[in-house]
Amino acid sequence: MRALAAARAAFWPAASVLLVLSALFVVVAKHESRKLFVELQALERVRDELNVNWGQLKLESGYLASHDRVRSEAERRLGMDRPDPGHMAIVNLEY
């Protein structure tokens, strides 16, 4: 009987310590979770900004590479003109 009473007397303090430690770990885990969520939101904002920038760059690249723009820049900057049809030669390449 004394052994059972001694075991019960030792159980409750140990259980209380384990309960407090468990609660502290829950608080630490929740805090870490919130920190990581804030970091995730910041990274998602950066990703969205980069996606917008990428879309703008693709539009600009498409405009800069368009045939009409290249032709007009060649005429304006380099003084190039389309050759007369008599000065053109069509070359067929066969592989």
> CA distances (Å), 59 to each of 23, 29, 47, 65, 94, in order?
54, 45, 18, 10, 35
pLDDT along the chain (95 residues), means of 10: 76 90 97 98 98 97 91 91 88 85
- pLDDT attached to residue 37: 98
| pLDDT given at position 78 | 92
Sole residue written with tokens 């304006």 = 76
The reported pTM is 0.57
| CB distance 95 to 89 below 8 Å | no
